[in-house]
Chain A
C-alpha cells in the first residue's frame, strides 16, 4: 500500500451536517425566545372569554363648529309628525243615475271651477318644489366629528336592568327652579324601593332626607311617576323584592 493509495470512502469521518443542525437549533430557539419576548412586550389586554361582548357604536355627528364662532344653542328635535287621522267623512251615496243625452244637451265646457282646479294643482306643484328645494338647503348638522350619538351600550345583563331603572327615574327627575343655587350644591336625598316580579312598586320611602322639602318631594315623586318598571331578570327578583334598591339623588 503506498501513501498515495486512495482513502477508503467507507472510512468513518466527521459529518459536516452537525454544525448546520446546531446552527438551526440555535436559530429556532432564538426566534422562539424573540417572538415570545416581543409578544409579551406588545401584548394587549387579556381577553376574558367568559365576559359578555361589549357593543360599542361610534357615530359621526357632523362637521365640527369653528372655535372662533359664537356658540349656537342645540336645535330642539323636530316634533314627531302628527298622525292626525283624517276625520271620517260620511260616504257619499254613489251617483247611480245615468245621464241620458238629450236633444238639448250641449257638450260640457270646462267650467270656471275646472280652471281654478288647474291653477290649484299648479300652485301645489310649485309649493312642493319649493319645499324640496328648502329641504335640500337644510343646514349641515354641526357637532363633534368624533362624537358618539348613542354612546356605547355596554351593560352587563344584570346592570342593564339597573340602567333601565335609572333612566326611567331620571326622565321624571323634575325639580322646582325655586330652590336657590346656593342650596342646590348641598342637596342629597335617597329613596329606597322594593319591586315585585312585574317591576311594580311594593314599597317606596325616603331613606335619607335632604332637608329641603321641595327636593325630597320631587325625588319621591320622580320614582313614583317612573313606576311600574319592566319585570326584573330572574336572578334579581328575590333581591329586589326583599332588600330592594336605593336611588341616591343629587341635583
Chain B
C-alpha cells in the first residue's frame, strides 16, 4: 500500500521536565486485515454438495473487497475438525499464522432451503464478535455466501456491502454482441439482449433489467429490457443515439445523440419521453454522461477544447466546467456514489490506456493503474469503495475489480470470453 506520504512531527516538550514528552505520530499504513476463512462445516449431504460454491463465493468476496488479506489455507495449523465456538477454538493456532480475524461457517439443508451460520472472531481477543444466520430459499449457495459476506462487511465498515448488487456487461459472441446481467462476481450471468449488436448497457434501477444501445434497426437506438421481458424503445430518433445513464433516483435518463460531426447530450424522463437537449456545441462531440449521486449534475466527455476531456455541468446544461487538464485523451467518466471522485480512462504519453480518478472539488488527478497492459471503462460499486473495469492484463478483455485507490485488482471468476463496458448497478 502506497501511503508513504507520512507526516511526522516530533513535539518534545522537554522544557517542562515534570511532564512526559509527547511524540506525535501520524501517517498510518492502512493495510488489509489478515483474515482466516476456515473451510465451511457441512452438516449433511445436501450441504456438502453446496459447500464448494458457498466457500468459493465467500472467499472471493472477502478477497476482492480490498479490506482483507485472506490467508492461504495451506498455512493453517488448526485441526480441520476444530469447533465453531470461541471455547472450542485454539486461537494461538490462528494468531501463529498471522490471522487477526477468523471466520467459521456451518452449512445445513433446511427442507428445500439452505441455511448458513457465520461466526466472526477476533483472534487477539479470543472472542466471538459477530454471529449471523441466513436461509436462502432454494439452494443458491453463492447468494447465501454474498448475504453473509455483506454482514461481515457491514460489521467492519458500518456501510452496506456490495456483494448482493448486480452488474451488466457486453460479451462478444459469434456475429454480434450480447448484453448480460449478473451478480457482482460475474456469476449467475443471464443474457438479456441478444442477437445483432447490443452495447453500452446500464443496470436499470432496482437491478431487474438493463438499458442499452442496439444496432438492431441499423442505426443505434436506446432500449430497456427486463430479464425475460420484451425490449421497449427509450429513444429511436433515426439519428445515432447511444450511451444511456439513469439518474440515481431512476426518474431520468441522459444519453448522447450524434450526427456526422456533432454529438449532443439529452436528458429525458426514464421512459424516454420529454427529451431536452442540454449541450449545444456545433462541430464538437459531447458523450458518455454520468450522473452525480445527488442527481443534480452530469459528468461527460467533450472535445470542445480540441482533445477529449472530462467536463461537469448542471443536469439542465448550465455551468459547464472542464475538470481535466492533464493528458490529451480522457474518456468514460464514472461519478462515484460518494460524490467526491470521478473515475475515467485516459491514454497517457506512452499510449497506454489506464484508469485515473479526478477529485471533483480540487481537480487533483490520481493514477489507479500502471504498467499492467490496457485498463478501461471504470464503474463504481454502489458504496464507492470498489471499481469494476476491463483489463487486458491476463490476455483478452476481462472484468476486474479493485479498490477506488487502485489497490488489490482481482479478476472476476467468469467463463472465458471477451467482456467489455461493465456497469455496476446502484
Interface residues of A (CB under 8 A from B): 67-74, 158-159, 162-163, 165-167, 169-170, 173-180, 182-183, 190, 192, 213-214, 217-218, 239, 243-251
With both chains docked as a complex, state the minimum distance between the C-beta of B244 and any C-beta of chain A, in angstroms: 28
Contact B20 A183 (CB under 8 A): no
Interfacial chain A residues near B17, Cβ < 8 Å: 239, 243
Given A159-B12, A173-B29, answer yes or no on A69-B327 (Cβ-Cβ < 8 Å).
Answer: yes
B52 interface residue (CB < 8 Å to A): no
B4, B10, B18: the one contacting A159 at CB < 8 Å is B10
B365 with A71: CB separation less than 8 A: yes
Closest to A155 in B: B10
Nearest chain B residue, comparing its CB with the CB of A243:
B20
When distances are taken between beta carbons in the complex, the residues of chain B under 8 Å from A177 are: 30-33, 66-68
Q: Are B33 and A73 in contact (CB under 8 A)?
A: no
Query: Dominant SS at the B interface?
Result: loop
Q: Is the interface of A mostly helix, strand, loop or mixed?
A: mixed
B356 contacts the other chain (Cβ, under 8 Å)? yes
Which one of B6, B22, B354 contacts A246 once the chains associate, using CB atoms below 8 Å? B22
Question: How far, in whole Å, are A235 and B122 apart by their CA atoms in the complex?
Answer: 42
Q: Which residues of B contact A (CB under 8 A)?
A: 2, 4, 6, 8, 10, 12, 14, 17-33, 66-68, 100, 122, 124-125, 156-159, 325-327, 346, 348-349, 354, 356, 365-367, 370, 406
Min CB distance, B35 to chain A, in Å?
A: 9
Q: Which residues of B contact A162 (CB under 8 A)?
A: 10, 12, 21, 23
Asked if A180 and B159 sit within 8 Å, CB to CB, the answer is yes
Please, which residues of chain B bring their CB within 8 A of the CB of A251? 26, 28, 30
Q: Which residues of B contact A213 (CB under 8 A)?
A: 122, 125
| CB contact between B8 and one of A170, A174, A178, A243 (< 8 Å): that residue | A170
| B349 pairs with A192, CB closer than 8 A | no
**Residue from the list B18, B24, B100, B348 in contact with A70, Cβ < 8 A:** B348
Which of the listed residues B20, B22, B24, B66 has the most CB atoms from chain A within 10 Å of its own CB?
B20
- Docked complex Cα distance between A30 and B402 (Å): 76
Q: List 22 A-B contacts (CB under 8 A).
A: A67-B326, A70-B348, A72-B367, A73-B370, A159-B10, A162-B10, A166-B8, A170-B8, A170-B25, A173-B28, A175-B29, A176-B156, A177-B66, A179-B30, A179-B156, A192-B20, A217-B124, A244-B20, A245-B22, A246-B20, A247-B22, A247-B23
In the complex, are the beta carbons of B14 and A248 less than 8 A apart?
Answer: no
**A164 → chain B, closest Cβ, in Å?**
10
